[in-house]
Amino acid sequence: MTTNHVADAFVALADPTRRDIFERIARAPSAVGDLARQLPVSRPAVSQHLKVLKNAGLVVDRRDGARRIYAVDSATLASVREYFDTFWTLSLSRFKTAAEKRSRPRHA
């Protein structure tokens, strides 16, 4: 996933209602109606939020009779995690370098 796709995911998740919907879907794949019953927004609003999440690559949907079931796109989520992992790896590397410098004996 490119940095632009990661940025799209961040933009999509910046909205608190959208983030709440995403978190609910992460716990269990859900249909629009099920999500709308749990939230203080209308069913059409939930559909619009899901469209943004889908366009950002954060969720996928599949048909189940007359409904669509939304689930987290694990590939995109892995890419977002990989993005953050680069910072963690860099921080650990810098910490290791600093620790090694401090543990080296100083020669007078």
CA 101/CA 108 separation, integer angstroms: 16
How many residues can be counted in the chain? 108
pLDDT in tens, 37-94: 999 999 999 999 999 999 999 999 999 999 999 999 999 999 999 988 988 877 777 7
Q: How far apart are CA 65 and CA 100, in angstroms?
A: 61
- Of residues 1 and 61, more confidence is placed in 61
| Whole-prediction pTM | 0.80
Q: Is the pLDDT of residue 11 over 90?
A: yes
Domain-by-domain residue ranges, the chain? 3-103
- Return the pLDDT at 99: 80
Query: Which CATH topology does 3-103 take?
Result: Arc Repressor Mutant, subunit A (1.10.10)
